[in-house]
Amino acid sequence: MWSIIAGGLIGLLAGRITKKGISMGIVANVFAGLVGSSVGQSLLGSWGPSIAGMALIPSIAGAVIVVTVVSFFTGKK
């Protein structure tokens, strides 16, 4: 449960950073946060503060990448 909440917050932050979060919806933001956390930690490691087992800075960076890629393929602005 904490992972879903943390993923949602990470996805929300990534959506706000890219300015595409509102057009994607809540479910897509949670998905982007969870997948982005995995991508970010794979690429950047698990350094910095963490919440629910997710390192925040790499997770947010990964979620920004996921939100950007998803919005590119779905055509949402």
Q: pLDDT tens digits, residue range 32-42?
A: 778 888 888 88
What is the separation of C-alpha 22 from the centre of its chain, rounded to a whole number of angstroms?
13
E strand intervals along 1-77: 50-51, 54-55
**How far is the first Cα of the chain from the last one, in angstroms, to the nearest whole number?**
30
Q: pLDDT tens digits, residue range 57-66?
A: 888 888 888 8
Closest CA to 44 of 24, 64, 29, 26: 64
Burial-class residue 30 by CB neighbours within 10 Å (0-12, 13-18, 19+).
Answer: buried
Q: Which amino acid is at 60?
A: I
| Tens place of pLDDT per residue across the chain (77 aa) | 777 777 778 878 887 787 776 666 777 777 877 888 888 888 887 777 777 777 778 888 888 888 888 777 776 55
